[in-house]
Amino acid sequence: MDHGNFTSTVSQDEVRKENAEFNQYVEEDGKKFRVPYRIIKKATFSNVSRKELIDIPHAARLQYRLMLLDPILKARVDFTRGRIIVLYNPKSSDNNKEKMSLDELVEILASQGVHIDRNGIEDIDYDYYHDFYSYAYQPSTIREHPPYAYSEDEWKAMKPEWEANKAKNEVEKLQKFRAYQQQYLIDHPEAASKIVEGWTPPPELQKTSLLGKIFGKKKGAKSDKGFWFHGI
Amino acid sequence: MSNEDSHKSGSVQIMIEEQSNKVLAPYHRMMDEIQKMPVIETTKTVCPECKLIVDGIIYKDGDNVMIRKYCPEHQWTIEKYWEDYDMYMKMRRYNYFGRGFDNPNYITETKGANCPFDCGMCERHKSHTGLANVVVTNRCHLSCWYCFFYAKEGEPIYEPSLDELKHIFNNLRSQKPIPANALQITGGEPTMHPRIVEIIQAAKEAGFDQIQLNTTGINIGLNPELAYKVRHAGTSTLYMSFDGVSKRANPKNHWEVPLTLDAIRKAGMSAVLVPTVIRTINDHELGAMINFALNNTDVIRAVNFQPVSLVGRMPTRLREKQRITIPGAIKLIEEQTNGVVAKEDWFSVPYVGGINRFIEALSGEYKYDLSIHFACGAGTYIFLDSDNKVIPITRFVDVNGLVEHLQRAVNEMEGKGKLQRKAIAVKTLAQFKKFVDAEHQPKSVNFSKMMMSVLLKRDFASMGKLQMKSLFLGMMHFQDEYTYDIHRVEKCDIHYAMPDGEVLPFCTFNVFPEVYRDKVQKQYSIPANEWQSTHSSWDYGKDKYIRDVKQLEASDLYKKTYGTLVDYFGMPVNGGKGVKNFTNEVFAPAAAAAQVKKAAVAESESIEGDSCGCGKGAGSCGCGNKESEASGDSCGCGCGGQ
């Protein structure tokens, strides 16, 4: 919920105008992704009595209990600051998910022994797609761990080379995979045409070595057995 | 004697039994006696009833390590944490903190103070993703009574599109500093996804080296073409459910396993057998399962035992009887393999981290950490030598000594230049041979040479070759509300990637499904009516697998697979005797056939009307069928009943 610095300025009405009928998908680079929410609400309850929150374990349990409710997407009960933040799906939203109003939320908190001062409530629009979903898919780098037995300064000097190698390895890995796929089809002629429709082996790979002729192994064929914990 | 008196004496009898039974006694001591027991460490845990975060006290009770917790509302909860104190202390020595994420998906202002209810993979987490799980569908062709992972009739369908899954794969691959490199595609039954082959290929193209397909194997067994396709697409192994060698222990896929193994054998793929171990249910077949794997080492690379995670509410007595922990299963393996695979042969997962840290310190390149909590997993390698002798790795490698030796080198390398590091590495490797007893290693293995090539050339293919010659035995004990330990959760490296972009440790995702797994999957699911309208030819009933037990049992493949097993643990080379419950009940040699028949009769008498062999008895599975013709086999036992 506190994913980014982005503060939504999009109002619920504007969104409704754009999506007269709620669209459950967003499009990124021509690809559609199902995102069930757009503009939801972020309610912040400040100055919550710490006496009512009791202690950190009870605050955590209150958080758990709030999250049990379908219209609540995320809840954060911060005992130290005496603050509760709730991301919820408001009645005004145009999606087809369970909804609740701010009053209902306040009532639920009251039923849990937490009485909210109405003056300490901030209830603002929250852009689920930009502030939550997109952040989780592209989180910021907040720190850096150097490899074991290296200091941060050493790592800074080594990093460009490591990054270049990593990128190179990724390309090589993909090439290796493509080669493996070709070889697999050659090694399994009985299934090749079912795997890739109409597949025939390339002429250069149809040759068989003398040993291969004797032992029935095609030239270049090798077993590809993986191991669980490869390096990267 | 009045009814009341007989009831009282019955209760007393139960109490006496509970207090004298070795397995149950630690649960039934007086609290003041428990509170005097030596405390090993303290942690944070949750009350299984109300989820209040409370102190967890890990203490020694005889040979057991137990956890106790007190909730002001729900009083005491006592649970077994680890069934061997010595092993606990031995494994604990190798515990270390790894690196979490440099780019966590979820930022909390409270730094995870409300853990485990702050989850989303926050900055507090201490291990990177070692194995990423991605759910591709919640549809399943079975309807196992104990499973809550699949969509029941009328429930929303969670089945992300290929593009959505690519999005998730890329998210996992962009983790820093160590991108997820091993992926488990799971479900439901993942092969139910109509684009499963493309999904696997997309994962491979996203950069995952290791791709496991978590499946019952049934679809692959019945459709061998699929085995070729998923292998060609990049699947490394089938992570296949396998709860025992007998029908009774493994009603889920006992009949189809021969077909599946045959299909993957032809397709050049391998499998990891994954038994969920439940005390009193299948704990007598652990040795038999390892033996089964040894009989199929050409396709089975590993047996990964999972002591049951008792998630959800259940009666206390049943929980106490069914609970088994990693050392509990290890001890049974020792018994059932006639001491061939002994307690001392196992090491905890963080041991491997020692080897990887050495390579990283030498090369300056990130390596997988495997920094999970020592109590979460254990493993060993066993080798099947040319004379059919089974040799665990610890009989010829001093694993503890080796890891400590490498760790000393890592410490020495700190702050040194490139040349000095290499000099330390040479010095370290020169002493390597003293940790390997070449005389006792299997004839087909040169362990020193293989490790040299891993450590010096970072040639992990050599490790692959080692695995080809061996069988990996693993243990992975996932937590539940009773055993919950936040120290374990924050070190977890088996993660689930969720459709909302967040990544969760296995034991928050599955232990609190109501606020994580089920909640988020429900948000991203397609309501049943919408699913039906966009998949007009789809029908819930059509998804379900109908088993023809008679036909499957009549096949030569079935008879060959279960009927011709070599008993590696009863062989004279191991000095062993016969293993209980070892020989297959149906295809035992003629001499034993009569005994098997007798046992089968006794078994059917003890479970009244259990004609289908599902082990649940008439009425409980609901089939009541004397015939095995299946019609709507919703219990998945092959009985054909509803």
Average pLDDT over residues B519-531: 91
What is this structure's pTM? 0.86
pLDDT above 50: residue A18: no
The CATH number of whichever domain residue A130 belongs to comes to: 3.30.70.100
Q: Considering the domain boundaries, does residue A178 fall inside one?
A: yes
The parent domain of residue A199 ranges over: 152-215
**Comparing B591 with A18, which gets the higher pLDDT?**
A18
Do residue B114 and residue A76 have CB atoms under 8 angstroms apart? Answer: yes
Do residue B500 and residue A136 have CB atoms under 8 angstroms apart? Answer: yes
- The residues near B556 (Cβ < 8 Å, ≥ 6 apart) are none
pLDDT at residue B4, as a whole number: 62
Residues A127 and A211 in one domain: no
Residues A102 and A171 in one domain: no
Q: Considering the domain boundaries, does residue A142 fall inside one?
A: no
Exposed (0-12), middle (13-18) or buried (19+): which is B476, by Cβ within 10 Å? buried
pLDDT at residue B555, as a whole number: 94
pLDDT at residue B464, as a whole number: 63
pLDDT above 90: percentage of residues in chain B? 61
Sign for the pseudo-dihedral over CA of B574, B577, B581, B583: positive
Do residue A63 and residue B114 have CB atoms under 8 angstroms apart? Answer: yes
Closest CA to B376 of B542, B539, B488, B257: B488
Q: Does A225 touch chain B (CB under 8 A)?
A: yes
Query: Average pLDDT over chain B, rounded to whole?
Result: 85
pLDDT band at A103 (very low <50, low <70, confident <90, very high): very high
Do residue B53 and residue A57 have CB atoms under 8 angstroms apart? Answer: yes
Q: What is the DSSP string of B229-241?
A: HHHHHT--EEEEE
Residues A87 and A182 in one domain: no
**Comparing B533 with B627, which gets the higher pLDDT?**
B533
pLDDT above 50: residue B580: no
The residue whose two tokens read 């942690």 is B43
Q: Is-contact B15 B28, C-beta < 8 A? A: yes
Q: Considering the domain boundaries, does residue B17 fall inside one?
A: no
Residue A142 one-letter amino acid: I
- Measured CA to CA, the distance from residue A131 to residue B101 in angstroms comes to 20
Q: In the structure encoding, which two tokens stand for residue B231, read together?
A: 């292998």
* ipTM attached to this prediction: 0.85
Q: What is the DSSP string of B33-52?
A: HHHTSPEEEEEEEE-TTT--
- 3-class DSSP string for B281-334: CCHHHHHHHHHHHHCCCCCEEEEEEEECCCCCCCCHHHHHHHCCCHHHHHHHHH
Exposed (0-12), middle (13-18) or buried (19+): which is B344, by Cβ within 10 Å? middle
Composition of chain A by helix, strand, coil, percent to 5: 45, 15, 40
Three-state secondary structure call for residue B453: helix
pLDDT at residue A207, as a whole number: 60
Q: Considering the domain boundaries, does residue B548 fall inside one?
A: no
Average pLDDT over residues A178-194: 94
Three-state secondary structure call for residue A203: helix
Out of B51, B411, B524, closest to residue A64 by CB: B51
Strands (E) in B102-181, as ranges, are 131-135
pLDDT digits (tens, 9 = 90+) for B41-96: 999 999 999 999 999 999 999 999 999 999 999 999 999 999 999 999 999 988 88
Query: What letter would DSSP give residue A20?
Result: S
**Comparing B18 with A25, which gets the higher pLDDT?**
A25
pLDDT at residue A230, as a whole number: 35
Q: What is the largest CA-CA distance in chain A?
A: 87
Average pLDDT over residues A105-111: 97
pLDDT digits (tens, 9 = 90+) for A135-147: 999 999 999 999 9
pLDDT at residue A205, as a whole number: 60
Residue B86 one-letter amino acid: D
pLDDT band at B13 (very low <50, low <70, confident <90, very high): confident
Task: Give chain A's domain count.
Answer: 2
Residues 110 to 139 of B: which have CB under 8 A from any A CB?
110, 113-115, 117-118, 120, 123, 130
Residues 578 to 637 of B: which have CB under 8 A from any A CB?
none
- Measured CA to CA, the distance from residue B490 to residue B322 in angstroms comes to 26
pLDDT digits (tens, 9 = 90+) for B363-392: 888 988 889 999 999 999 999 887 788 999
* H helix runs in B458-588, sequence order: 460-468, 486-489, 506-509, 517-524, 528-534, 540-543, 549-554, 556-563
Choose, out of B74, B157, B164, B232, the residue to mutate when testing the contact with A (most A CBs < 10 Å). B232
Q: Considering the domain boundaries, does residue B238 fall inside one?
A: no
pLDDT above 70: residue B624: no
Q: Considering the domain boundaries, does residue B615 fall inside one?
A: yes
Q: Considering the domain boundaries, does residue B620 fall inside one?
A: yes
Three-state secondary structure call for residue B198: helix
Q: Which of A137, A162, A191 lies at the terminal end of a domain, its last residue?
A: A137
Average pLDDT over residues B560-567: 87
Residues A105 and A43 in one domain: yes
pLDDT above 70: residue B590: no
pLDDT band at B111 (very low <50, low <70, confident <90, very high): confident
Three-state secondary structure call for residue A102: helix
pLDDT band at B616 (very low <50, low <70, confident <90, very high): very low
Residues 173 to 202 of A: which have CB under 8 A from any B CB?
173-174, 177, 181, 184-185, 187-188, 191, 194-195
Average pLDDT over residues B310-339: 91
pLDDT digits (tens, 9 = 90+) for B407-435: 899 999 988 888 899 899 889 988 888 99
Q: Considering the domain boundaries, does residue B611 fall inside one?
A: yes
pLDDT at residue A210, as a whole number: 63
Q: Is-contact A43 A172, C-beta < 8 A? A: no
Do residue A227 and residue B467 have CB atoms under 8 angstroms apart? Answer: yes
Q: In the structure encoding, which two tokens stand for residue B542, read together?
A: 């059509």
Residue B301 one-letter amino acid: R
- Chain A closest-CA separation from residue B145 CA (Å): 25
Closest CA to B508 of B250, B302, B309, B273: B309
Kindly list the residues from chain B whose CB atom is less than 8 angstroms away from the CB atom of residue A3: 106-107
pLDDT at residue B386, as a whole number: 78
pLDDT at residue B447, as a whole number: 83
pLDDT above 60: residue B321: yes
Q: Is-contact B559 B552, C-beta < 8 A? A: no
pLDDT above 50: residue B607: no
Q: Does A171 touch chain B (CB under 8 A)?
A: no
pLDDT band at A94 (very low <50, low <70, confident <90, very high): confident
- Chain A closest-CA separation from residue B501 CA (Å): 5
pLDDT at residue A88, as a whole number: 98
Q: Considering the domain boundaries, does residue B610 fall inside one?
A: yes
pLDDT at residue B368, as a whole number: 87
Do residue A232 and residue B105 have CB atoms under 8 angstroms apart? Answer: no
Task: Give chain B's domain count.
Answer: 1
- Measured CA to CA, the distance from residue B390 to residue B19 in angstroms comes to 39
Q: Which of A111, A137, A163 lies at the terminal end of a domain, its last residue?
A: A137
Q: Does A6 touch chain B (CB under 8 A)?
A: no
- How far are the Cα atoms of B213, B216, B257, B446, B496 from residue B189, in angstroms, in the given order? 9, 7, 15, 40, 16
Residues A68 and A130 in one domain: yes
Residues A180 and A123 in one domain: no
Q: Considering the domain boundaries, does residue B609 fall inside one?
A: yes
Q: Which of A137, A165, A182 lies at the terminal end of a domain, its last residue?
A: A137
Residues A103 and A190 in one domain: no
pLDDT at residue B634, as a whole number: 34
Do residue B104 and residue A142 have CB atoms under 8 angstroms apart? Answer: yes
Kindly list the residues from chain A whose CB atom is less than 8 angstroms away from the CB atom of residue B236: 226
Q: Does A5 touch chain B (CB under 8 A)?
A: no
pLDDT band at A203 (very low <50, low <70, confident <90, very high): confident
Q: Is-contact B526 B159, C-beta < 8 A? A: yes
The residue whose two tokens read 């009532």 is A107
Residues 45 to 104 of B: which have CB under 8 A from any A CB?
50-54, 99, 101-104
Kindly list the residues from chain B whose CB atom is less than 8 angstroms away from the CB atom of residue A79: 113
- Measured CA to CA, the distance from residue A183 to residue A221 in angstroms comes to 6
Q: Is-contact B570 B580, C-beta < 8 A? A: no
Residues 14 to 43 of A: which have CB under 8 A from any B CB?
31-34, 36-37
Q: Is-contact B341 B473, C-beta < 8 A? A: yes
Kindly list the residues from chain B whose CB atom is less than 8 angstroms away from the CB atom of residue A187: 268
The parent domain of residue B610 ranges over: 594-642
Average pLDDT over residues B340-350: 93
pLDDT at residue B512, as a whole number: 95
